[in-house]
Amino acid sequence: MKASAECGPTLDALLVVLDDALRALAAGGRSDEANRMAGRAYAALRREHPTQAQRVNVLMHALARIPNTIQGAEDGDRRSAAGRPQ
């Protein structure tokens, strides 16, 4: 496990960007998609960066309260930004 001092400020800065981006996506009516992305981030962080993973967990709970308003946004046939099926 990397020491917190090694990647702490960089990882924390990236989490701020992730938080802003996913909240913006949710505010645009795609909260389910934003929450799935947050879940992927949580899974990537939880073992080696539990403090940052907890911050993403808090974000997931906030995103769950935002209504999904895009018609069909809950369908699994959308593609991610990379063009991969979800």
What are the distances in angstroms from CA 6 to CA 14, 26, 33, 56? 14, 32, 31, 20
- Is the per-residue pLDDT at 12 higher than 80? yes
Tell whether the model's pLDDT for residue 16 goes beyond 50.
Answer: yes
Please enumerate in sequence order all residues whose Cβ is within 8 A of that of 41, keeping only pairs 6 or more positions apart, or say none.
Answer: 18, 56
Q: Which two tokens stand for residue 84?
A: 């991969």
pLDDT at 8: 82
- In this predicted structure, the answer to whether residue 30 has a pLDDT above a threshold of 90 is yes
Quick one: average pLDDT of 37-54? 97
Q: What is the pTM of this model?
A: 0.75
